[in-house]
Amino acid sequence: MAGYLKRWLLMLLGLLAGAVGLNYWVDPYGLYRSRAAGDWKPHATTQGDLVKPYLVLRHPPRTLILGNSRAEVGFDPEDPAWPEAARPVFNLALPGTGTRVARRLFEHVLAAQPPQALVLGVDYMDFLVEPAARGSDPRMTRRLLLEAVHPASVRWRQKVHDAAATLASLDALMHSLDTLRVAGRPGVADLTAAGFNPMRDYREIARREGYYNLFRQRDIENIRAYQRRPRNLYTRGTGSSPAFDDLNAILDAARAHAIPVQVVIYPYHAHLLEILRLTGHWELFEDWKREMTHRVASHGRGQAVLWDFSGYHVYAREAVPAAGDRKHVMRWYWEAGHFKSELGHLLLTRLHGGGTDAFGRVVTPENIETHLQSIRAEAEVYRRDRPRVIAELASLRR
C-alpha cells in the first residue's frame, strides 16, 4: 500500500513539475521570460493588477503612465511622439481603477526607482462620491512596495501566492494551453511588456459587429452608469474627498521627487459629453474641472500641468457609422469612452510641444472660465448640427 501511494505521489509531483515547466515556458501572463516579436499574451489583459506591478519593477521607466482603461488603450509607450529623453515609458494604467490605485502604484514605483516624468490620466466619474465616502485600499495593493501601508511580510506572502497562481495553478495551465492555441491568429488580445493594450481583439469585434453597435452598447451603459452615480464631489462637511486627497498625494509626492506631472483629462467622444448633459452631470463636470485646476495649481506649484482634451474638437465629433454598416472603420475612437492610440498619438504630440492648439489646452485658474465657456459654445454648435444624434441619445434614457 505504501509503495502504491508513493508511486501516485511521484506521478502527481511529476505532473505538477511538468505543468510548472510548461507555464514557465509559455509564460501566459508575460511575467517570467523575455518577449519576442509577435509573442502575444491574451490572458495578461485580464490580469493587469497582478502582472503590471511586477513588470514595472523589471522595466524601470523614465516616464510612467497612470490612469484607467482609457489610458491603458490610448497611450502607447512605443509611440513615436515620446521624445528620446522620455524613454523608456511604462503604461501602469489599470482598467476599472480610480485615484487610490493610481496613488498606490505611484508610491510603489517611487519605492523602487522614481521615474523622471509622470503622465496621469484623470476621469470625472472616479471623483463622484457619496457624502459619507471613505478611501480604502484594494487587495491588489498587498503586492506593492508599500511598507507604510502593509508590512513587508504581507507582500512576501502575496508574492508566494502570485507565483503559485501563475506557475502551479490549473488556471495558469489552461491559460498556457489557450495561449498556444491562439498563437499567430489575428484579433487576439495582448498586453505588451510595456503595459499597453493594443486592442487587437476589439479591432476584430468592430470588424464583425460594426462601430454603430459598439457605440450604442457603450452609450446605453454610460447613460445607466451616470444615472446611478451620485452627483457629489466632496465628502460631507469638507471641501475634499478621498479621490481629491489621492490626487493631492500624487502631486505632493511628485513635487518632493522633482518629477514633472502632466495631468490629462481624457478626450471623450461627443456622445459621452452629451450623455453627461442628458443625465444632469454637466454643471458638476464643469465644477470638477474647476477643482482639478485649483488642485493642480496649488499642489503642483509649477511642477504639474493640467491638460483638458475633453472638448467638442474635430476628433470628438467623429461621425459614428450608421446601423448595419460594418465596412466603415472609425479612425479615432473604439466607442464614446475609449479613444484609439491613433488619437493618443496626437495627444502625446501635444504634451511634448507639437500638434495644433485646436486639440487640448493647458488649463489654469486664470483661464478656466474662458475655457469652459468656449466648450459650451462648441457644444451648442454640435447640437445644432447633429439633432438626430442628440435625439437618439436622449431616447436611451429610462
* Mean pLDDT, residues 254-264: 98
Mean pLDDT of 59-83: 97
Domain interval for residue 387: 62-143+193-395
Query: Does position 1 have pLDDT exceeding 70, yes or no?
Result: no
Residue 289 predicted with pLDDT over 70 = yes
Residue 374 falls inside a structural domain: yes
What pLDDT is attached to residue 33? 86
Distance CA 317, CA 386 (A): 10
Range 39-44 average pLDDT: 87
| Non-local CB neighbours of 272 within 8 Å, separated by 6+ positions | 219, 222, 336, 337
CA distance linking residue 304 with residue 193, whole number of Å: 28
Residue 157 lies in a domain: no
Alpha carbon distance 379, 274 (integer Å) = 8
pLDDT score of 301:
87
Q: Would you say the C-alpha torsion 212, 213, 216, 218 has a positive or negative sign?
A: negative
pLDDT at position 157 is 95
The pLDDT tens digits for 343-376 are 999 999 999 999 988 999 999 999 999 999 999 9
- How confident is the prediction for the chain on average, in pLDDT? 93
Total length of the chain: 398
Beta strands 89-91 and 63-66 are parallel
pLDDT digits (tens, 9 = 90+) for 141-164: 999 999 888 888 999 999 999 999
In a domain, 182, yes or no: no
Range of lowest pLDDT (35-39, 280-284, 309-313, 351-355): 35-39
Residue 37 has pLDDT above 90, yes or no: no
Residue 21 has pLDDT above 90, yes or no: no
pTM of the model: 0.95
Q: What is the pLDDT of residue 222?
A: 97
92-116: pLDDT as tens digits? 999 999 999 999 999 999 999 999 9
SS3 assignment, position 73: helix
What mean pLDDT is predicted for residues 294-305? 94
> Which residues, in sequence order, are CB contacts of 269 under 8 Å at separation 6+?
215, 316, 318, 333, 335, 336, 337, 339
Say which residue, 54 or 33, is predicted with more confidence: 54
Q: What is the pLDDT of residue 256?
A: 97
Q: Is residue 323 part of a domain?
A: yes
Q: What is the CATH number of the domain that holds 85?
A: 3.40.50.1110
57 lies in a domain? no
Q: Would you state the pLDDT for residue 23?
A: 86
For 194-240, how does the pLDDT look when each residue is reduced to its tens digit (9 = 90+)?
999 999 999 999 999 999 999 999 999 999 999 999 999 999 989 99
Pairing of strands 361-363, 261-265: unpaired
CA pair distance 231, 271, nearest whole angstrom: 20
pLDDT band at 168 (very low <50, low <70, confident <90, very high): confident
36 pLDDT band, cuts 50/70/90, is: confident
Highest mean pLDDT among 41-45, 101-105, 181-185: 101-105
Residue 248 lies in a domain: yes
pLDDT above 80 for 2: no
- Give CA–CA dist 371/140, Å, rounded: 38
End-to-end CA distance of the chain: 68
- How many domains would you assign to the chain? 1
What residue has cell string 495553478? 169
Question: Is residue 322 pLDDT above 80, yes or no?
Answer: yes
Instruction: Calculate what percentage of the chain has a pLDDT beyond 70.
Output: 95
Q: Is residue 370 part of a domain?
A: yes
Q: What is the pLDDT of residues 243-256, one digit of tens each?
A: 999 999 999 999 99
Q: Does residue 70 sit within a domain?
A: yes
